Chain A
């Protein structure tokens, strides 16, 4: 057996632990690709359906596209969030993780990181799809648009991961997650949609400043609040 006396240990390291958990989650997702495929197919299908219900002569693309983009963003994100804890609970690997010296907050940050990468990757496919189908000229707005997506993805991942941890303890986890999270995504999705609408129309960025501030404030407040309350989702 591994001799207890000779096994050298180091103290828990917050960010290193979080990064290790995120890497592990992403590796599992990369191997199985279950959620990513589902979310991508969903995103492309949704763009296509929105395109067919759209009458270009009645509504300008600019009025509709930001809404479509952020609806897809929200729902494809939800598809990934459930997986975040279901992969832990399938064989109760979560028990092993909780029994390790990793701090609860590290587990949460790791999960948020993995979900953040997941949601951003879906968006990397969804935005070009929306641009293509709706004939948007994004041009020089790419940089700002990516910034908005990253800000929104961070807030969505933090709140979504927390609620996924809660939902994982219940029956009907998959049904419950959207019911709990969607009201919380309102102050995230509306500013993101408004800001991207401003950007896509090529209006001066100053007119979207309030929305940017709101997004930033949401991220700051909710990321820290979720880190603080996450340990309460674990039974002790």
Chain B
């Protein structure tokens, strides 16, 4: 057998953490139990809103999903993208990818739960209300971002090109929001009741706070899993191409 020349050492490959794929992730398990518990509490142990009826309960999912998908995932995507362009650290690229994926899921949850509520209280499935419209455009942007990631072959180019797009999102979000607000301002839609603003009865407030906590845990548990999964995938790619 002829000797093979020494292959270049794969020192810079991320060391995969195999624990994350063996068995059940403890953090995710806790988060899932918390989400289920909050749902149970919201459905059976929280009073029905006198004015809005049972449909109001959708907000125990809707608002936490919006907080995770819009207010955490999007800034995280933008910051880690810009950070990647700055220091070219592969972990930031994985963080951006994970934020986009989990963000897409949470924003999707917002977009699914929104119309259900709209149907029962406004009598129509879809309303071009400013917040919903902004969310739709952001959801589409994140979707485009993930499609771009899927279309670039080499890991370095993928990280760099998608970071350019993720970084531009910082500028896009305020512009979309401004545009949509201005647009709606000129054509007023139905009055939006924001259940988080008026003072809620204590029981509902407690459920609402627990729901936020549970969904936040779910958000970060999923983020952590996707982050690690991306690391494993990159390690496999590195082994295959080395």
Interface residues of A (CB under 8 A from B): 159, 162-163, 166-167, 169-172, 176, 179-180, 182-184, 186-187, 190-191, 194, 210-211, 214, 217-218, 221-222, 225-226, 229, 232-233, 235
B179 touches A214 (CB 8 A): yes
| Chain B residues whose CB sits within 8 angstroms of the CB of A166 once the complex forms | 148, 161, 164-165
* Complex contacts, A190 vs chain B, CB 8 Å: 179-180, 183
- Count of chain A to chain B residue pairs whose CB atoms are closer than 8 Å in the complex: 90
Residues of the B chain whose Cβ atoms lie less than 8 Å from the Cβ of A187: 172, 175-176, 178-179
Bound CA–CA A186/B174 (angstroms): 12
**Distance in angstroms between the alpha carbons of A235 and B154 in the assembled complex:** 11
Of the stretches B30-38, B97-105, B137-145, the one at the interface is B137-145
Q: How far is the CA of A187 from the CA of B153 in the complex (A)?
A: 31
- Chain B residues with a Cβ under 8 A of chain A: 85, 137-138, 140-141, 143-145, 147-148, 151-153, 156-157, 160-161, 163-165, 167-168, 171-172, 175-176, 178-180, 182-183, 186
Residue in B closest to A194 when the chains form the complex, CB atoms: B183
Bound complex: CA A211 to CA B185 (Å): 12
Complex Cα spacing A92 to B180, Å: 42
A233 to B161, CA, bound (A): 6
A127 to chain B, nearest CB (A): 22
Q: Which of B85, B152, B175 is close to A170, meaning CB atoms less than 8 Å apart?
A: B152
CB distance from B21 to the nearest CB of A (A): 29
The 3 A-B residue pairs whose C-beta atoms are closest, nearest first, are A187-B175, A183-B141, A170-B151
Instruction: Let me know if B157 and A221 touch, CB within 8 A.
Output: no
Query: Beyond A187-B176, A211-B182, is A229–B147 a contact (Cβ under 8 Å)?
Result: no
- Given known contacts A170-B152, A171-B151, A232-B164, A184 and B157 CB-to-CB distance under 8 angstroms: no
| Complex Cα–Cα for A82 and B57 (A) | 47
Q: How far is the CB of A223 from chain B (nearest CB, A)?
A: 11
Expressed in whole angstroms, the Cα–Cα distance for A229 and B81 within the complex equals 12
List B contacts of A232 (CB < 8 A): 85, 160-161, 163-164
Q: B137's contact among A171, A180, A186, A226, by CB below 8 Å, is which? A: A186
